Amino acid sequence: MSFKNETILAGVEDPRVVESYIMLYTSWNKDVGRLSSAISKDLKNWTKHGSVFKNAHEGKFMDIWSKSGSMVT
């Protein structure tokens, strides 16, 4: 990883990969962009889980753009 042109000039501390990789991406149906997720154990085979907000507040966020995301564990 190189951070020469990034805002994180001091570096990144303590990255870890344990058992699974989680990918957050934007899925788009030509109308609304949705923050979606997929999980892989080998970076080759992925299980898609769809919109991360599909069950939030009884689906109220399904038709609202949710392109950016952060992960809290």
What global pTM score does this model have?
A: 0.66
Q: pLDDT by residue (tens digit) across 25-59? A: 888 888 888 889 999 999 999 999 988 888 888 88
Q: Are 67 and 26 in contact (CB under 8 A)?
A: yes
Q: How far apart are CA 67 and CA 27, in angstroms?
A: 8
Domain ranges of the chain: 21-59
Q: Is 20 helix (H, G, I), strand (E, B) or coil?
A: strand
